[in-house]
Amino acid sequence: MNFSDLQIENKLKKSIELAEFKTPTPIQSQSIPVSLTGRDILGTAQTGTGKTLAFTIPMINKLIKDKNAMGLIVCPTRELATQVMATVLKLNVREIGIGNALLIGGESMQKQLRKLGKRARIIVGTPGRINDHLKRKSLDLSKVNYLVLDETDRMLDMGFTPQIEEILNYVPKDHQTLLFSATLPDNILRISQKYLNNPERISVGSLSAPIAKIKQETFEVSQDKKYHELINQLVERSGSILVFVKTKHGADKIVKRLKFDGHKADAIHGNLRQSKRDRVITGFRNGNSRILVATDVAARGLDIPLIQHVINYDLPQVPEDYVHRIGRTGRAGKEGSALTFLTPSDRSMWNSISKLIDPNYKPPQRDRDQKRSFRGGKKGKGSFNKNKRFRDDKKSNFGEKKKFFKRDDDRKSSFKGKKKFFKRDDDQKTSFGEKKKFFNKDDNQKSNFGKKKSFFKRDDNNKTDFRDKKKASGFTNNPKYFGKKPDETAKSDDDRRSSFNNKKKFKNRKRPKSFKFNKFKKS
Protein backbone atom coordinates (compact mmCIF):
# COMPACT_ATOMS: atom_id res chain seq x y z
CA MET A 1 0.00 0.00 0.00
CA ASN A 2 1.19 3.53 -0.88
CA PHE A 3 -0.13 6.97 0.03
CA SER A 4 -1.27 7.37 -3.57
CA ASP A 5 -3.74 4.50 -3.01
CA LEU A 6 -5.56 6.38 -0.23
CA GLN A 7 -8.98 7.92 -0.91
CA ILE A 8 -7.85 11.49 -0.29
CA GLU A 9 -7.85 14.81 -2.14
CA ASN A 10 -5.37 15.25 -4.99
CA LYS A 11 -3.95 18.40 -3.38
CA LEU A 12 -3.06 16.37 -0.32
CA LYS A 13 -1.51 13.57 -2.40
CA LYS A 14 0.79 16.09 -4.08
CA SER A 15 1.84 17.61 -0.77
CA ILE A 16 2.65 14.12 0.57
CA GLU A 17 4.88 13.53 -2.46
CA LEU A 18 6.62 16.88 -1.97
CA ALA A 19 7.26 16.02 1.69
CA GLU A 20 8.83 12.74 0.49
CA PHE A 21 6.56 10.49 2.52
CA LYS A 22 6.56 7.29 0.47
CA THR A 23 5.54 4.07 2.21
CA PRO A 24 3.09 4.13 5.14
CA THR A 25 4.13 2.56 8.44
CA PRO A 26 1.89 -0.18 9.96
CA ILE A 27 0.06 2.27 12.24
CA GLN A 28 -0.53 4.61 9.27
CA SER A 29 -1.77 1.91 6.90
CA GLN A 30 -4.22 0.62 9.55
CA SER A 31 -5.55 3.86 11.03
CA ILE A 32 -5.75 6.27 8.04
CA PRO A 33 -8.42 4.32 6.09
CA VAL A 34 -10.52 3.93 9.25
CA SER A 35 -10.27 7.60 10.23
CA LEU A 36 -11.18 8.69 6.67
CA THR A 37 -14.56 7.01 7.21
CA GLY A 38 -15.21 9.23 10.26
CA ARG A 39 -14.93 6.58 12.99
CA ASP A 40 -13.30 7.21 16.38
CA ILE A 41 -9.96 5.48 16.92
CA LEU A 42 -8.20 4.17 20.03
CA GLY A 43 -4.68 3.62 18.75
CA THR A 44 -1.64 2.26 20.55
CA ALA A 45 1.82 2.05 19.07
CA GLN A 46 5.38 2.58 20.18
CA THR A 47 7.09 5.91 19.74
CA GLY A 48 8.82 6.45 16.42
CA THR A 49 6.26 4.48 14.40
CA GLY A 50 4.70 7.45 12.57
CA LYS A 51 1.61 8.19 14.66
CA THR A 52 1.77 11.91 13.80
CA LEU A 53 1.19 11.34 10.11
CA ALA A 54 -1.53 8.78 10.92
CA PHE A 55 -3.84 11.49 12.30
CA THR A 56 -2.54 14.52 10.34
CA ILE A 57 -3.44 13.24 6.84
CA PRO A 58 -7.13 12.47 7.64
CA MET A 59 -7.47 15.81 9.45
CA ILE A 60 -6.21 17.92 6.52
CA ASN A 61 -8.31 15.90 4.08
CA LYS A 62 -11.42 16.61 6.17
CA LEU A 63 -10.67 20.35 6.42
CA ILE A 64 -10.16 20.56 2.64
CA LYS A 65 -13.63 19.10 2.07
CA ASP A 66 -15.39 21.13 4.77
CA LYS A 67 -14.38 24.81 4.70
CA ASN A 68 -16.03 25.52 8.10
CA ALA A 69 -14.54 22.57 9.99
CA MET A 70 -11.75 22.86 12.57
CA GLY A 71 -9.14 20.41 13.84
CA LEU A 72 -7.67 20.40 17.37
CA ILE A 73 -4.57 18.42 18.35
CA VAL A 74 -3.66 18.32 22.05
CA CYS A 75 -0.10 17.27 23.01
CA PRO A 76 1.55 16.83 26.44
CA THR A 77 4.76 18.84 25.84
CA ARG A 78 5.84 21.90 23.92
CA GLU A 79 8.40 19.90 21.96
CA LEU A 80 5.85 17.38 20.76
CA ALA A 81 3.38 20.13 19.81
CA THR A 82 6.11 21.92 17.87
CA GLN A 83 6.99 18.75 15.96
CA VAL A 84 3.33 18.00 15.18
CA MET A 85 2.96 21.52 13.80
CA ALA A 86 6.09 20.99 11.69
CA THR A 87 4.46 17.91 10.13
CA VAL A 88 1.25 19.89 9.53
CA LEU A 89 3.19 22.65 7.77
CA LYS A 90 4.88 20.08 5.51
CA LEU A 91 1.48 18.91 4.28
CA ASN A 92 -0.33 22.26 4.44
CA VAL A 93 1.34 23.73 1.39
CA ARG A 94 0.31 26.94 -0.37
CA GLU A 95 -2.21 25.13 -2.58
CA ILE A 96 -4.07 23.98 0.53
CA GLY A 97 -3.43 27.07 2.69
CA ILE A 98 -5.41 26.26 5.86
CA GLY A 99 -4.88 28.75 8.70
CA ASN A 100 -3.09 27.31 11.74
CA ALA A 101 -1.94 28.31 15.23
CA LEU A 102 0.54 26.79 17.66
CA LEU A 103 -0.59 27.39 21.26
CA ILE A 104 2.19 26.46 23.71
CA GLY A 105 3.63 27.97 26.86
CA GLY A 106 6.78 30.07 26.71
CA GLU A 107 5.74 31.68 23.41
CA SER A 108 4.49 35.22 22.91
CA MET A 109 0.78 35.51 23.66
CA GLN A 110 0.41 38.42 21.23
CA LYS A 111 1.83 36.33 18.39
CA GLN A 112 -0.67 33.56 19.14
CA LEU A 113 -3.55 36.05 19.28
CA ARG A 114 -2.60 37.35 15.85
CA LYS A 115 -2.58 33.78 14.47
CA LEU A 116 -6.00 33.07 15.98
CA GLY A 117 -7.32 36.30 14.53
CA LYS A 118 -6.53 35.08 11.01
CA ARG A 119 -9.19 32.35 11.17
CA ALA A 120 -6.95 29.49 12.24
CA ARG A 121 -8.66 26.15 11.55
CA ILE A 122 -5.83 23.86 12.67
CA ILE A 123 -5.02 24.28 16.38
CA VAL A 124 -2.05 22.45 17.89
CA GLY A 125 -1.19 23.08 21.52
CA THR A 126 -0.64 21.96 25.09
CA PRO A 127 -3.53 21.71 27.58
CA GLY A 128 -2.37 24.60 29.77
CA ARG A 129 -2.07 27.23 27.03
CA ILE A 130 -5.26 26.08 25.27
CA ASN A 131 -7.15 26.61 28.53
CA ASP A 132 -5.59 30.07 28.90
CA HIS A 133 -7.01 31.08 25.53
CA LEU A 134 -10.39 29.58 26.38
CA LYS A 135 -10.55 31.70 29.55
CA ARG A 136 -9.54 34.79 27.56
CA LYS A 137 -12.26 33.87 25.03
CA SER A 138 -9.66 34.27 22.29
CA LEU A 139 -10.20 30.65 21.16
CA ASP A 140 -13.50 29.34 19.82
CA LEU A 141 -13.81 25.55 19.64
CA SER A 142 -17.49 25.46 18.70
CA LYS A 143 -16.67 24.32 15.14
CA VAL A 144 -14.15 21.58 16.03
CA ASN A 145 -15.24 18.30 14.45
CA TYR A 146 -11.84 16.55 14.47
CA LEU A 147 -10.09 16.07 17.84
CA VAL A 148 -6.76 14.33 18.45
CA LEU A 149 -5.37 13.46 21.88
CA ASP A 150 -1.73 12.54 21.28
CA GLU A 151 0.41 10.75 23.88
CA THR A 152 -2.62 10.64 26.17
CA ASP A 153 -0.93 8.44 28.77
CA ARG A 154 1.79 11.03 29.13
CA MET A 155 -0.74 13.83 29.56
CA LEU A 156 -2.51 11.91 32.32
CA ASP A 157 0.80 11.17 34.06
CA MET A 158 1.62 14.87 34.02
CA GLY A 159 -1.70 15.70 35.72
CA PHE A 160 -3.50 17.23 32.74
CA THR A 161 -6.75 15.30 33.28
CA PRO A 162 -8.76 18.35 34.55
CA GLN A 163 -7.49 20.53 31.68
CA ILE A 164 -8.37 17.87 29.08
CA GLU A 165 -11.89 17.50 30.47
CA GLU A 166 -12.27 21.30 30.47
CA ILE A 167 -11.26 21.44 26.80
CA LEU A 168 -13.71 18.67 25.90
CA ASN A 169 -16.54 20.74 27.44
CA TYR A 170 -15.95 23.41 24.77
CA VAL A 171 -15.89 20.90 21.90
CA PRO A 172 -19.23 19.96 20.27
CA LYS A 173 -20.54 16.49 21.06
CA ASP A 174 -20.78 15.65 17.38
CA HIS A 175 -17.11 15.27 16.49
CA GLN A 176 -14.56 12.61 15.56
CA THR A 177 -11.99 11.72 18.24
CA LEU A 178 -8.65 9.98 17.73
CA LEU A 179 -6.86 8.94 20.92
CA PHE A 180 -3.26 7.76 20.53
CA SER A 181 -1.10 6.40 23.31
CA ALA A 182 2.13 4.47 23.67
CA THR A 183 0.73 2.47 26.60
CA LEU A 184 -2.80 1.56 27.59
CA PRO A 185 -3.32 1.83 31.38
CA ASP A 186 -6.72 1.71 33.09
CA ASN A 187 -7.21 5.49 33.16
CA ILE A 188 -6.87 5.59 29.36
CA LEU A 189 -9.59 2.96 29.03
CA ARG A 190 -11.87 4.98 31.33
CA ILE A 191 -11.41 8.13 29.23
CA SER A 192 -12.00 6.21 26.00
CA GLN A 193 -15.26 4.79 27.35
CA LYS A 194 -16.38 8.26 28.43
CA TYR A 195 -15.45 10.36 25.39
CA LEU A 196 -15.07 7.99 22.43
CA ASN A 197 -18.05 6.71 20.47
CA ASN A 198 -17.66 3.03 19.54
CA PRO A 199 -13.93 3.42 18.70
CA GLU A 200 -11.94 1.20 16.39
CA ARG A 201 -9.16 -0.46 18.38
CA ILE A 202 -5.84 -0.32 16.49
CA SER A 203 -2.68 -1.71 18.04
CA VAL A 204 0.73 -2.07 16.44
CA GLY A 205 3.44 -4.05 18.22
CA SER A 206 3.78 -4.67 21.95
CA LEU A 207 2.79 -1.87 24.31
CA SER A 208 5.70 -2.43 26.68
CA ALA A 209 8.46 -4.09 24.64
CA PRO A 210 10.99 -1.77 23.00
CA ILE A 211 11.57 -1.76 19.27
CA ALA A 212 13.38 -4.91 18.18
CA LYS A 213 16.14 -3.03 16.34
CA ILE A 214 17.34 -1.26 19.51
CA LYS A 215 20.35 -2.99 21.06
CA GLN A 216 20.00 -2.85 24.85
CA GLU A 217 22.94 -3.10 27.23
CA THR A 218 23.48 -2.63 30.96
CA PHE A 219 26.63 -1.63 32.83
CA GLU A 220 27.01 -2.13 36.58
CA VAL A 221 28.91 0.72 38.19
CA SER A 222 29.14 2.43 41.58
CA GLN A 223 27.63 5.87 42.03
CA ASP A 224 30.97 7.68 42.41
CA LYS A 225 32.36 6.18 39.16
CA LYS A 226 29.33 6.92 36.97
CA TYR A 227 30.71 10.06 35.36
CA HIS A 228 34.08 8.49 34.56
CA GLU A 229 32.34 5.59 32.84
CA LEU A 230 30.15 8.07 30.94
CA ILE A 231 33.29 9.70 29.55
CA ASN A 232 34.61 6.30 28.47
CA GLN A 233 31.34 5.52 26.65
CA LEU A 234 31.31 8.90 24.91
CA VAL A 235 34.83 8.29 23.62
CA GLU A 236 34.07 4.76 22.43
CA ARG A 237 30.80 5.64 20.63
CA SER A 238 30.40 7.68 17.46
CA GLY A 239 27.43 9.77 16.45
CA SER A 240 24.89 11.75 18.45
CA ILE A 241 24.14 10.67 22.01
CA LEU A 242 21.14 11.39 24.23
CA VAL A 243 21.86 11.09 27.97
CA PHE A 244 18.94 10.83 30.39
CA VAL A 245 19.30 12.00 33.99
CA LYS A 246 16.90 12.25 36.91
CA THR A 247 16.88 15.97 37.81
CA LYS A 248 17.24 19.39 36.18
CA HIS A 249 20.13 20.26 38.47
CA GLY A 250 21.87 17.00 37.53
CA ALA A 251 21.50 17.80 33.81
CA ASP A 252 23.10 21.25 34.18
CA LYS A 253 25.88 19.84 36.36
CA ILE A 254 26.83 17.09 33.91
CA VAL A 255 26.79 19.50 30.95
CA LYS A 256 29.11 21.83 32.82
CA ARG A 257 31.55 18.99 33.49
CA LEU A 258 31.35 17.72 29.91
CA LYS A 259 32.12 21.15 28.50
CA PHE A 260 35.04 21.47 30.90
CA ASP A 261 36.35 18.13 29.58
CA GLY A 262 36.11 19.34 25.98
CA HIS A 263 32.81 17.76 24.85
CA LYS A 264 30.08 19.60 22.93
CA ALA A 265 27.00 19.18 25.09
CA ASP A 266 23.70 20.92 25.88
CA ALA A 267 20.92 20.36 28.42
CA ILE A 268 17.16 20.35 27.97
CA HIS A 269 14.72 20.33 30.88
CA GLY A 270 11.61 22.03 32.21
CA ASN A 271 13.32 25.15 33.57
CA LEU A 272 14.40 26.40 30.13
CA ARG A 273 12.45 29.06 28.27
CA GLN A 274 10.79 27.89 25.07
CA SER A 275 13.17 29.92 22.90
CA LYS A 276 16.14 28.30 24.65
CA ARG A 277 14.62 24.82 24.20
CA ASP A 278 14.15 25.45 20.48
CA ARG A 279 17.76 26.61 20.10
CA VAL A 280 19.06 23.54 21.95
CA ILE A 281 17.03 21.10 19.84
CA THR A 282 17.90 22.89 16.61
CA GLY A 283 21.59 22.86 17.51
CA PHE A 284 21.42 19.16 18.31
CA ARG A 285 19.63 18.41 15.02
CA ASN A 286 22.21 20.40 13.06
CA GLY A 287 25.09 18.65 14.80
CA ASN A 288 26.38 21.72 16.67
CA SER A 289 26.31 19.71 19.90
CA ARG A 290 26.93 15.98 19.83
CA ILE A 291 25.61 15.24 23.34
CA LEU A 292 22.17 16.20 24.66
CA VAL A 293 21.58 15.72 28.38
CA ALA A 294 17.85 15.60 29.13
CA THR A 295 15.33 14.88 31.84
CA ASP A 296 12.15 12.91 31.15
CA VAL A 297 10.53 16.02 29.68
CA ALA A 298 12.27 14.99 26.43
CA ALA A 299 11.53 11.28 26.75
CA ARG A 300 8.43 11.49 24.58
CA GLY A 301 7.78 13.38 21.40
CA LEU A 302 11.41 14.30 20.72
CA ASP A 303 11.72 13.26 17.09
CA ILE A 304 15.37 13.64 16.09
CA PRO A 305 16.21 11.04 13.42
CA LEU A 306 19.98 11.18 13.93
CA ILE A 307 20.03 10.01 17.59
CA GLN A 308 22.16 6.87 17.45
CA HIS A 309 22.72 6.16 21.16
CA VAL A 310 20.69 6.59 24.33
CA ILE A 311 22.45 6.37 27.70
CA ASN A 312 20.35 6.07 30.86
CA TYR A 313 22.70 7.78 33.30
CA ASP A 314 19.90 7.56 35.91
CA LEU A 315 16.96 5.16 35.83
CA PRO A 316 13.50 6.70 35.30
CA GLN A 317 11.04 7.15 38.17
CA VAL A 318 8.36 5.12 36.35
CA PRO A 319 9.15 1.81 34.56
CA GLU A 320 7.06 2.78 31.51
CA ASP A 321 9.32 5.79 30.86
CA TYR A 322 12.21 3.44 30.11
CA VAL A 323 10.45 2.30 26.92
CA HIS A 324 9.88 5.89 25.84
CA ARG A 325 13.46 6.90 26.64
CA ILE A 326 15.11 4.28 24.50
CA GLY A 327 12.44 4.87 21.83
CA ARG A 328 14.28 8.11 20.96
CA THR A 329 16.74 5.98 19.00
CA GLY A 330 15.98 3.40 16.31
CA ARG A 331 13.21 5.54 14.86
CA ALA A 332 11.56 4.93 11.48
CA GLY A 333 13.12 1.49 11.10
CA LYS A 334 16.69 2.54 11.84
CA GLU A 335 18.99 0.74 14.24
CA GLY A 336 20.02 2.18 17.60
CA SER A 337 21.60 1.28 20.91
CA ALA A 338 20.61 1.91 24.52
CA LEU A 339 22.98 1.66 27.49
CA THR A 340 21.77 1.72 31.11
CA PHE A 341 23.99 2.38 34.14
CA LEU A 342 23.00 0.25 37.14
CA THR A 343 24.11 1.01 40.69
CA PRO A 344 23.36 -1.30 43.64
CA SER A 345 20.44 0.95 44.67
CA ASP A 346 18.87 0.62 41.19
CA ARG A 347 18.32 -3.12 41.42
CA SER A 348 14.68 -2.95 42.52
CA MET A 349 13.65 -0.48 39.79
CA TRP A 350 15.54 -2.43 37.14
CA ASN A 351 13.65 -5.59 38.13
CA SER A 352 10.38 -3.68 37.67
CA ILE A 353 11.49 -2.43 34.24
CA SER A 354 12.57 -5.93 33.19
CA LYS A 355 9.24 -7.36 34.31
CA LEU A 356 7.39 -4.72 32.29
CA ILE A 357 9.32 -5.64 29.15
CA ASP A 358 9.13 -9.38 29.78
CA PRO A 359 6.28 -10.60 32.06
CA ASN A 360 8.10 -13.93 32.49
CA TYR A 361 11.22 -12.23 33.85
CA LYS A 362 12.57 -13.55 37.15
CA PRO A 363 15.15 -11.62 39.20
CA PRO A 364 18.63 -13.16 39.52
CA GLN A 365 19.29 -15.55 42.38
CA ARG A 366 21.57 -13.12 44.20
CA ASP A 367 18.82 -10.48 44.35
CA ARG A 368 16.44 -12.93 45.99
CA ASP A 369 19.13 -13.98 48.47
CA GLN A 370 19.79 -10.34 49.36
CA LYS A 371 16.09 -9.79 50.04
CA ARG A 372 16.02 -12.73 52.43
CA SER A 373 19.13 -11.63 54.29
CA PHE A 374 17.89 -8.07 54.82
CA ARG A 375 14.26 -8.91 55.57
CA GLY A 376 13.46 -7.32 58.89
CA GLY A 377 17.04 -7.54 60.14
CA LYS A 378 16.45 -11.00 61.67
CA LYS A 379 19.36 -12.91 63.12
CA GLY A 380 20.58 -16.22 61.83
CA LYS A 381 19.10 -19.47 62.95
CA GLY A 382 22.12 -20.58 64.96
CA SER A 383 22.32 -17.59 67.29
CA PHE A 384 18.56 -17.80 67.93
CA ASN A 385 18.78 -21.43 69.11
CA LYS A 386 21.78 -20.63 71.26
CA ASN A 387 19.87 -17.93 73.11
CA LYS A 388 16.97 -20.29 73.56
CA ARG A 389 19.21 -22.96 75.13
CA PHE A 390 20.70 -20.34 77.43
CA ARG A 391 17.27 -19.40 78.74
CA ASP A 392 16.36 -23.04 79.29
CA ASP A 393 19.49 -23.58 81.41
CA LYS A 394 18.66 -20.65 83.62
CA LYS A 395 15.08 -21.89 83.95
CA SER A 396 13.85 -18.36 83.43
CA ASN A 397 11.31 -17.11 80.97
CA PHE A 398 11.59 -13.50 79.85
CA GLY A 399 9.37 -13.70 76.79
CA GLU A 400 5.90 -13.79 78.26
CA LYS A 401 4.29 -10.66 79.57
CA LYS A 402 1.77 -12.38 81.79
CA LYS A 403 4.38 -14.68 83.40
CA PHE A 404 7.33 -12.37 83.70
CA PHE A 405 8.92 -14.27 86.59
CA LYS A 406 7.71 -17.70 87.53
CA ARG A 407 9.50 -19.14 90.49
CA ASP A 408 9.39 -22.67 91.95
CA ASP A 409 6.51 -24.12 93.95
CA ASP A 410 8.38 -23.96 97.30
CA ARG A 411 8.57 -20.18 97.20
CA LYS A 412 5.08 -19.93 95.69
CA SER A 413 5.65 -16.42 94.26
CA SER A 414 3.88 -15.16 91.18
CA PHE A 415 4.04 -11.90 89.31
CA LYS A 416 1.02 -12.62 87.19
CA GLY A 417 -1.70 -10.77 88.97
CA LYS A 418 -1.85 -7.01 89.16
CA LYS A 419 -3.78 -7.00 92.42
CA LYS A 420 -1.45 -9.56 94.04
CA PHE A 421 1.94 -8.55 92.76
CA PHE A 422 3.87 -10.48 95.44
CA LYS A 423 2.12 -13.36 97.17
CA ARG A 424 4.28 -15.17 99.63
CA ASP A 425 3.63 -18.25 101.77
CA ASP A 426 1.20 -18.43 104.66
CA ASP A 427 3.88 -18.38 107.39
CA GLN A 428 5.12 -14.96 106.46
CA LYS A 429 1.63 -13.74 105.46
CA THR A 430 3.02 -10.97 103.31
CA SER A 431 1.11 -9.42 100.41
CA PHE A 432 2.46 -6.73 98.13
CA GLY A 433 -0.61 -6.59 95.93
CA GLU A 434 -2.96 -4.47 97.96
CA LYS A 435 -2.57 -0.75 97.82
CA LYS A 436 -3.91 -0.11 101.34
CA LYS A 437 -1.72 -2.76 102.95
CA PHE A 438 1.51 -2.53 101.00
CA PHE A 439 3.59 -4.29 103.70
CA ASN A 440 1.65 -6.35 106.25
CA LYS A 441 4.03 -8.15 108.58
CA ASP A 442 3.26 -10.57 111.40
CA ASP A 443 1.49 -9.68 114.64
CA ASN A 444 4.64 -9.82 116.79
CA GLN A 445 6.29 -6.99 114.92
CA LYS A 446 3.00 -5.17 114.39
CA SER A 447 4.31 -2.99 111.60
CA ASN A 448 2.17 -1.65 108.81
CA PHE A 449 3.75 -0.06 105.75
CA GLY A 450 0.53 0.29 103.81
CA LYS A 451 -0.97 3.36 105.42
CA LYS A 452 0.27 6.75 104.50
CA LYS A 453 -0.37 8.25 107.95
CA SER A 454 1.67 5.60 109.75
CA PHE A 455 4.46 4.99 107.27
CA PHE A 456 6.90 3.67 109.90
CA LYS A 457 5.30 2.29 113.06
CA ARG A 458 7.56 0.22 115.26
CA ASP A 459 6.67 -2.07 118.20
CA ASP A 460 5.75 -0.92 121.72
CA ASN A 461 9.18 -1.69 123.24
CA ASN A 462 11.00 0.91 121.14
CA LYS A 463 8.05 3.26 121.24
CA THR A 464 9.48 5.25 118.39
CA ASP A 465 7.20 7.05 116.05
CA PHE A 466 8.55 8.68 112.93
CA ARG A 467 5.35 10.49 112.19
CA ASP A 468 6.45 13.51 114.17
CA LYS A 469 8.52 15.49 111.72
CA LYS A 470 9.98 17.75 114.40
CA LYS A 471 11.47 14.87 116.40
CA ALA A 472 12.70 12.84 113.42
CA SER A 473 16.21 13.65 112.33
CA GLY A 474 16.31 11.08 109.55
CA PHE A 475 15.60 7.53 108.59
CA THR A 476 17.80 4.51 109.17
CA ASN A 477 17.58 0.75 109.18
CA ASN A 478 20.29 0.39 111.86
CA PRO A 479 18.63 -0.89 115.10
CA LYS A 480 21.65 0.19 117.28
CA TYR A 481 21.10 3.80 116.30
CA PHE A 482 18.12 4.20 118.64
CA GLY A 483 20.11 3.07 121.70
CA LYS A 484 22.78 5.75 121.36
CA LYS A 485 22.93 8.75 123.62
CA PRO A 486 22.32 12.20 122.19
CA ASP A 487 25.92 13.33 122.60
CA GLU A 488 27.18 10.38 120.58
CA THR A 489 25.04 11.23 117.59
CA ALA A 490 25.70 13.84 115.01
CA LYS A 491 24.67 17.41 115.48
CA SER A 492 21.01 17.90 116.18
CA ASP A 493 18.77 19.91 113.96
CA ASP A 494 18.86 22.80 116.46
CA ASP A 495 22.66 22.88 116.33
CA ARG A 496 22.55 22.90 112.55
CA ARG A 497 20.04 25.67 112.50
CA SER A 498 22.18 27.74 114.85
CA SER A 499 25.06 27.73 112.40
CA PHE A 500 22.89 29.43 109.83
CA ASN A 501 21.44 32.12 112.12
CA ASN A 502 23.91 34.70 110.96
CA LYS A 503 22.66 35.05 107.41
CA LYS A 504 22.08 38.74 107.94
CA LYS A 505 25.76 39.28 108.61
CA PHE A 506 26.54 38.31 105.04
CA LYS A 507 24.19 40.91 103.75
CA ASN A 508 25.56 43.64 106.04
CA ARG A 509 29.21 42.96 105.41
CA LYS A 510 31.35 45.79 104.11
CA ARG A 511 31.90 45.82 100.39
CA PRO A 512 34.52 47.74 98.41
CA LYS A 513 33.50 51.11 97.14
CA SER A 514 32.42 51.41 93.58
CA PHE A 515 35.18 52.29 91.18
CA LYS A 516 35.57 52.91 87.48
CA PHE A 517 38.09 51.68 84.94
CA ASN A 518 40.22 54.38 83.37
CA LYS A 519 40.31 53.99 79.62
CA PHE A 520 43.72 53.27 78.20
CA LYS A 521 45.07 56.17 76.27
CA LYS A 522 47.97 56.05 73.90
CA SER A 523 50.74 58.45 74.75
pLDDT for the residue 322: 84
pLDDT for the residue 113: 93
Residue 277: partners with Cβ closer than 8 Å, 6 or more residues away: 78, 79, 106, 268
User: Out of 3.40.50.2300, 3.90.930.12, 3.20.20.240, 3.40.50.300, which CATH number does the structure's domain 3-204 have?
Assistant: 3.40.50.300
Sheet holding 265-268, edge to edge: 214-220, 336-342, 307-312, 240-244, 291-294, 265-268
pLDDT for the residue 175: 92
Q: Which fold has domain 214-373?
A: Rossmann fold (3.40.50)
- CATH 3.40.50.300 segments of the chain: 3-204, 214-373
pLDDT less than 70: residues of the chain: 1, 46-48, 205-212, 298-305, 330-333, 365-523
Instruction: Encode pLDDT of 383-442 as tens digits.
Output: 445 454 444 554 444 444 444 444 444 444 444 444 444 444 444 444 444 444 444 444
Q: Closest Cα to residue 266, out of 275, 312, 274, 279?
A: 279
pTM of the model: 0.56
pLDDT for the residue 35: 93
pLDDT for the residue 441: 45
321 dihedral zone (left: phi>0; alpha: psi -120 to 50; beta): alpha
Q: Which residues pair with 473 in a beta bridge?
A: none
